[in-house]
Amino acid sequence: MSDEETSKEKTEEVKEEVKEKPSSQDTSEKVPEKISLTQKELDGKLADARRKAEAAQKEWQKKFDDLQASIEAKEKAANDAAAEKVEALRKDLPDSIGKLLDKLTAIEQLEWLNDPDNAITKKEIPPLPQSTDGRGSQRKSINIV
């Protein structure tokens, strides 16, 4: 086949059969059995459909980006608020616990610090009795954490 014959075949009409089952409710409307389109018309319709799909995709992408930015802003605000609360709760904790808490995120630290099972209390030990022989001095109180 020559190039002219193949180009003629491309420009010939493209026929598409459309068949639809008749419904029991509405038999008055007739559906055309054949729709005839040239290759150029078909290409134009496909291009229009593609442009509409791309426009819809861009619109949904913009909505998605806006929603994602909103979620990230709210997450940042929540993390900042949690960090402020954690700083207030950590001021009385020993350094060893502070180092362990540093390995967690601010929200995880806040959850741990607010859990009543993890409450850390300082207990005051009563002063030691005075020695009877008078040798040496002893500390009067000890803090245990």
Say if CB 15 and CB 34 are below 8 A apart: yes
* pLDDT surpassing 60 at residue 140: no
Per-residue pLDDT, 63: 97
Per-residue pLDDT, 133: 62
Per-residue pLDDT, 23: 52
Per-residue pLDDT, 112: 87
Name the pLDDT band for 19 (thresholds 50, 70, 90).
very low
Name the pLDDT band for 136 (thresholds 50, 70, 90).
low
* pLDDT surpassing 90 at residue 69: yes
Q: Which of 84, 94, 100 is nearest to 121 (CA)?
A: 94
Mean pLDDT for all residues in the chain: 78
